[in-house]
Structure 1
Amino acid sequence: MHKREFLKVAGLAGLAAMADPKGLFAAEGRETLLTQKAPFTLPPLPYAPDALEPNIDKLTMEIHHDKHHGAYVKNLNDALQSSALASLSLEGILAKVTAKDAAIRNNGGGHYNHSLFWTLLSPKQTSPSAKLTTALNGAFGSVDAFKEQFGDAAKKVFGSGWAWLIVKKDGKLAITSTPNQDNPLMTQLVKEPGTPLLGLDVWEHAYYLKHQNKRPDYIAAFWNVVNWDEVEKRLNAARK
């Protein structure tokens, strides 16, 4: 696909919803995304669109956030208008959604996944703390071994989907993957449910402008912008 063709397709993906000025993950007075109810809003990026360069380029971030994520929000709100799930929080929606609820499954997952994804990226280079390093070492042998296993899971996603680091119900860490916009909170749909700590979007729109079909290059660049502080924050919350 040529760049011009890609942009045309991305532009047709949908109109972006109006951004919530406080943001779903704002540092002060934030209400967590999972407890919010419809109608949902598009959270602003927590940094400038070009802040992750050269690892993730500005144009990709603008299209990915404004067009793709915006479309998920709009389509989710539209789908919920005629659904009994509309009375639930996003957490409740994700826990109860089934394959029969295709529009809510795809767009609810897309909204949650991307809202989380933006917070897991940072223009400030961070490293796993001693506590998080110990957790990763215990589960995977070493931080490098974790990165390799997580990267392999991301590479092996056929077509579009996500790779995840999760905390399972027993408190153990695990690496898993899901197709399309499914995520580990969808207990009616996934084989390995859990609380997401880290997620990597491997849909082509997340990397094609910069890396074309070279998904491994995108995965390598991802490690340069991971917000390890957010990963640890989520781990602490999941294990309380």
Structure 2
Amino acid sequence: MAISRRTTLALGAAAAASTVFKPYVARAAVPFEQPPLPYAEDALAPQISARTVGLHYGKHHKAYFDKLNELAPGTPYADMTLEEVVKQSKEKGDDAIFNQAGQAWNHIFYWDQFNGGPTEPTTALEEAATRDFGGMTDLQEAIVTEGGKVFGTGWVWLVQDGDKLAVRGYQDAGNPLGDNLKPLLGIDVWEHAYYLDYENRKPDHIKTVLAERVNWTWVGEKLAG
């Protein structure tokens, strides 16, 4: 069958378009994107140095997203929110996915809690801390103590457990989402979070950022929300 000039031109245009747009297809958006750091790298200094933030956010946090985006395509996780991935992978015991998704989510929370800090706690948070710990100072001491108990890598979290505040330590990528607890504050106690600034003095790192970096108003708003 003869091919008309119009058909030939159409086919040529289609082939050209295919060639032009192939790189775009190859750059299709990944399922999960690391949010921008909510402040400059030096904004948390001197309590957390610009060098630590640069390595922590630019290398470690980014790596969790990169690895998650290698593992998630072709799985049901690719169509979930990051929080859903954390919960579902924890429930299913899918450690390979959970470790990456958990750390990706944990660090978003971690950076956000310092934005605009330090600030005073809300009245509701102060009252809850007094009721459950004896006061804000006692609450912070409980977080430092629990963080010191985390062996090796992990996190220490302030959570809302029903009507009460509680402090929980978790290994590795662990967080309260998998236990159906509401996270209010999370301190990273992996060495990459503090070693350049505090060396092996992990409790000093926790105590300092609680007292001088955390936006306690932000924490209190999460309690109320």
Q: Do they superpose with TM above 0.5?
A: yes
Aligned to 2:219, the other structure's residue is in SS state: helix
Q: Distance in 2 between matches of 1:85 and 1:56?
A: 34
Whether 1:215 and 2:202 are equivalent positions in the alignment is yes
- Mark the structure with the bigger radius of gyration: 2
Q: Which residue of 2 aligns with 1:156?
A: 149
Q: Distance in 2 between matches of 1:94 and 1:226?
A: 24
Whether 1:229 and 2:217 are equivalent positions in the alignment is yes
What are the Cα deviations for residues 177-203 of structure 1, in whole angstroms up to 9, with x where unaligned?
A: 11001111124xxxxx40100000000
Q: Distance in 1 between matches of 2:34 and 2:85?
A: 17
Q: How does 1:1-240 map to 2 (within 5 A)?
A: 39-98=31-90, 100-122=93-115, 124-168=117-161, 170-187=162-179, 193-223=180-210, 224-237=212-225
How far 1:75 sits from its partner (Å)?
Answer: 0.8
What are the Cα deviations for residues 208-234 of structure 1, in whole angstroms up to 9, with x where unaligned?
A: 111111112211221210011210121
The answer to whether the Cα contact below 8 Å between 1:64 and 1:205 also exists between their aligned partners in 2 is yes
Q: Distance in 2 between matches of 1:42 and 1:205?
A: 18
How far 1:129 sits from its partner (Å)?
Answer: 2.4
1:70 partner amino acid: K
Q: Distance in 2 between matches of 1:78 and 1:196?
A: 27
**Larger relative helix fraction:** 2
Q: Distance in 1 between matches of 2:113 and 2:122?
A: 15
Normalized against structure 2, the TM-score is what?
0.82
Q: Distance in 1 between matches of 2:79 and 2:208?
A: 40
What are the Cα deviations for residues 78-131 of structure 1, in whole angstroms up to 9, with x where unaligned?
A: 111132222222232222214742221111001100000001114642111222
2:177 partner amino acid: L
The answer to whether the Cα contact below 8 Å between 1:154 and 1:163 also exists between their aligned partners in 2 is yes
The answer to whether the Cα contact below 8 Å between 1:56 and 1:221 also exists between their aligned partners in 2 is no
How far 1:40 sits from its partner (Å)?
Answer: 0.9
The answer to whether the Cα contact below 8 Å between 1:161 and 1:179 also exists between their aligned partners in 2 is yes
RMSD across aligned positions (CA): 1.7
Unaligned runs of at least 5 residues, structure 1: 1-37, 188-192
The answer to whether the Cα contact below 8 Å between 1:51 and 1:123 also exists between their aligned partners in 2 is no
- Share of identical aligned residues, percent? 39
Q: Distance in 1 between matches of 2:121 and 2:65?
A: 32
Of 170-179 and 83-92, deviating more is 83-92
Q: Distance in 1 between matches of 2:117 and 2:142?
A: 24
Unaligned runs of at least 5 residues, structure 2: 1-29
Aligned to 2:45, the other structure's residue is in SS state: coil
1:228 partner amino acid: W
1:118 partner amino acid: W
